[in-house]
Structure 1
């Protein structure tokens, strides 16, 4: 399934030009593929940041008098029902979700029985296709509602859509701190890899101050958000297996196998594999601390031992519904990118409007996206246990 954001994310690993300075002759970049402009004030350390998060409300004003729970609007009857329950009686979400999935299952079975009676009826086939699309939309909103429920359960307020005009730098002095809540979504092992993901994003700007100003296009910010969702999804998936093997004491005792390289992994439209294992330009493994890369009890070490096929499987979103949700969430936050497919089949994406934000806000967006990805894996797994829809 193709879409503007899926196509835009294909540009994730494209080379980035150097950033231009705003205040003085100083150059920097967030990471490969994310050109930006920065201006700094004093000291930033990503591994020990005390970042304040974006100030958002659990209920967002859509501008037309309606109240929204999250950037993506609920449009199906089931989604709207779940949204109402999420606002009024969130503790009923699990049982209501299961009931909606039972209804979908019954509807799907009834549809198949009717189709068996008129197998050659083209009109009925068309009706069945429409019904299947409606079920897919309902399934997406059920999954999305579960994700929102998990954010609420962790007392985390989601980011509303960014201003289309970019706007001035926002005052972060009075914003609520959600850093600990966002970090608590993950295991300590996964959190270490997310910290590495943040370090890779910041690049040489990792030592910059919290109030360093970043100017980045909506397109690049959207790609970064989508990639971080994918990374959170991957980490949750592989961490479940890692924690199980750790509990069962089946982890290999030492690192004897050859570590995978980027060449072992097929391109992914959202994920940048540079965030999994740091690579040097010639493709060899970059120097890292011995304990970090050889300790069998570290998730990073565990990931580096996975064979290419297993790693590729874990890094792939299992359902088209989840892919669609990533696209919708990203598009709802950052707008629809200007995408053009050229005659030779290549994709051209214009950067569009520029967003101005601080490292504090950028860090929050990345942590929120990683949390969204982790909750997406949980939601997808729960729904799959009640209603089969995933590809593998």
Structure 2
């Protein structure tokens, strides 16, 4: 699955896909063409589309239901439901197009759909460039400290090993990717508040002692992620502050003191839960669809005990450097998703979770 590019003027072959997910609605296909031909015009095109969606929604809300009951009323409600679903899909694809455009502005191509490369005899899937420095520059220094801790918890003592190759469950890598997208969304949300309070010089006095941080992490402070498959993203709109203990090194392995991290831990439970929740159903759906487009739809088999049967998991060969790039992209995707969701909501108000 890919965003369809328009044909080159001097070739019958389509241009290379710019994102794993193919946009299907008329609005999404229109924005896909602009992403390929004139990406800098995407914001203006989105403005026009949002105005039209708002007009359509206002018009629908002003209509009165037929006074008669029976077939006419059922038909009326069905038509209204179809139109509402069309607007929802258009909004999802507007969010996605804006995220893709932000990656294009940063000159960081999105990783294509994961599949063994025919050009690599070993069957590795990660022949993409690392671009670690470019991705790092897209986050504040405080946020990147948190991202480094997130990477340390996922990769453990392999964090500095970019060349070694391992066979890993594709489903498991998909879970890590989806959790990292949600982590990036959460991180951008709290970092935005942190940077504002830092600028206004009203930051609370929180301890930067590493031992206190590690103790809190070990006790599960913060939102958690525990998914049997990344298909369940929509039913668990929480994000893992510390990657749910995915690292071979265990909770707390390789963690470094971070002012933003201790700031987050100063939140009360209700505030933390609110910041850890994806606000709109459209954003939740985009995380799920993008991850599925990247890794494919997993065939999840349940055992009689109710656990996931991993015996038939597809294994992929990927270097630890490639896995790091995947996680960095996912965190950045989530960060961008927070930005574009906020932008779209300021012009077309979502129904928030």
Aligned to 2:164: 212
d(CA) in 2 for partners of 1:128, 1:89: 34
Q: Deviations over 1:5-26 (max 9, x none)?
A: xxxxxxxxxxxxxxxxxxxxxx
> Which consecutive unaligned segments of at least 5 residues does structure 2 have?
227-235
The CA RMSD over aligned residues, in Å, is 3.5
> What's the TM-score, normalizing by structure 1?
0.73
After superposition, the Cα gap between the structure-2 partners of 1:118 and 1:360, relative to the gap in structure 1 and judged at 3 Å, is: farther
Aligned to 1:28: none
Q: 1:327 aligns with which of 268, 288, 293?
A: 288
d(CA) in 1 for partners of 2:136, 2:5: 22
d(CA) in 2 for partners of 1:85, 1:288: 43
* SS of alignment partner, residue 244 of structure 1: helix
Aligned to 1:158: 110
Q: 1:88 aligns with which of 29, 34, 37?
A: 37
Is 1:199 the counterpart of 2:160? The answer is no
Q: 1:382 aligns with which of 343, 349, 352?
A: 343
Aligned to 1:348: 308
Tell me the CA shift for residue 180 of structure 1: 1.3
Q: Is the 8 A contact 2:156 2:253 kept in 1?
A: no
After superposition, the Cα gap between the structure-2 partners of 1:165 and 1:178, relative to the gap in structure 1 and judged at 3 Å, is: closer
Q: Is the 8 A contact 2:130 2:325 kept in 1?
A: no
Is 1:309 the counterpart of 2:270? The answer is yes
Aligned to 1:140: 92
Map 1:235-314; keep pairs closer than 5 Å. Answer: 235-255=187-207, 261-262=219-220, 265=223, 269=236, 271-275=239-243, 292=257, 298-314=259-275
Q: Deviations over 1:121-170 (max 9, x none)?
A: 11111111111111111110000000001001101111100116997354
d(CA) in 2 for partners of 1:196, 1:288: 5
* SS of alignment partner, residue 338 of structure 1: coil
d(CA) in 1 for partners of 2:164, 2:24: 39
Is 1:104 the counterpart of 2:27? The answer is no
Q: 2:177 aligns with which of 214, 225, 228?
A: 225
* SS of alignment partner, residue 155 of structure 1: coil
Q: How many aligned positions are there? A: 323
Is 1:339 the counterpart of 2:294? The answer is no
After superposition, the Cα gap between the structure-2 partners of 1:119 and 1:230, relative to the gap in structure 1 and judged at 3 Å, is: farther
Q: 1:185 aligns with which of 138, 142, 146?
A: 138
Tell me the CA shift for residue 93 of structure 1: 0.9
After superposition, the Cα gap between the structure-2 partners of 1:185 and 1:349, relative to the gap in structure 1 and judged at 3 Å, is: farther
* SS of alignment partner, residue 386 of structure 1: coil
* SS of alignment partner, residue 87 of structure 1: helix
> Which consecutive unaligned segments of at least 5 residues does structure 1 have?
1-56
d(CA) in 2 for partners of 1:247, 1:333: 38
Aligned to 1:131: 83
After superposition, the Cα gap between the structure-2 partners of 1:359 and 1:178, relative to the gap in structure 1 and judged at 3 Å, is: same
Q: Is the 8 A contact 1:215 1:356 kept in 2?
A: yes
> What's the TM-score, normalizing by structure 2?
0.80
Q: 1:77 aligns with which of 12, 26, 35?
A: 26
